[in-house]
């Protein structure tokens, strides 16, 4: 069995401020039975993308609500 290595044609991009991942973790405990823990890793570019999607959803829902409230002749 032979192993082939794929050599990229370009060197990987240097990490920049928008591509450096950020990490956060939290742990909540209620009494002795309920323990909730969460870990997340995201780049600032990903956070900007999520913010843009949420903004588009809110703008779209505002248009739908306005159209629903409009009186019909």
Q: Cβ distance 27 to 13 under 8 Å?
A: no
For residue range 1-33, list pLDDT tens digits in order: 566 777 667 766 677 788 888 899 999 999 999
The model carries a pTM of 0.57
**Residues contacting residue 48 through CB under 8 Å, at least 6 positions apart:** 18
For residue range 25-68, list pLDDT tens digits in order: 999 999 999 999 999 999 999 999 999 999 999 999 988 888 88
Neighbours of 44 (CB within 10 A): 14
Domain ranges, ordered by start, for the chain: 43-73
- DSSP of 19-38: TS-EEEEEEEEETTTEEEEE
For 66: left if phi > 0, alpha if psi spans -120 to 50, otherwise beta; the answer is alpha
């Amino acid at each position: 069995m032979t192993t082939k290595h794929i050599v990229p044609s370009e060197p990987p991009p240097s990490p920049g401020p928008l591509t450096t991942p950020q990490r956060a973790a939290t742990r909540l405990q209620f009494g002795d039975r309920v323990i909730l823990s969460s870990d997340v890793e995201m780049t600032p570019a990903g956070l900007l993308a999520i913010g843009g999607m949420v903004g588009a959803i809110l703008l779209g829902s505002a248009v739908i609500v306005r159209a629903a409230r409009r009186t019909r002749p």
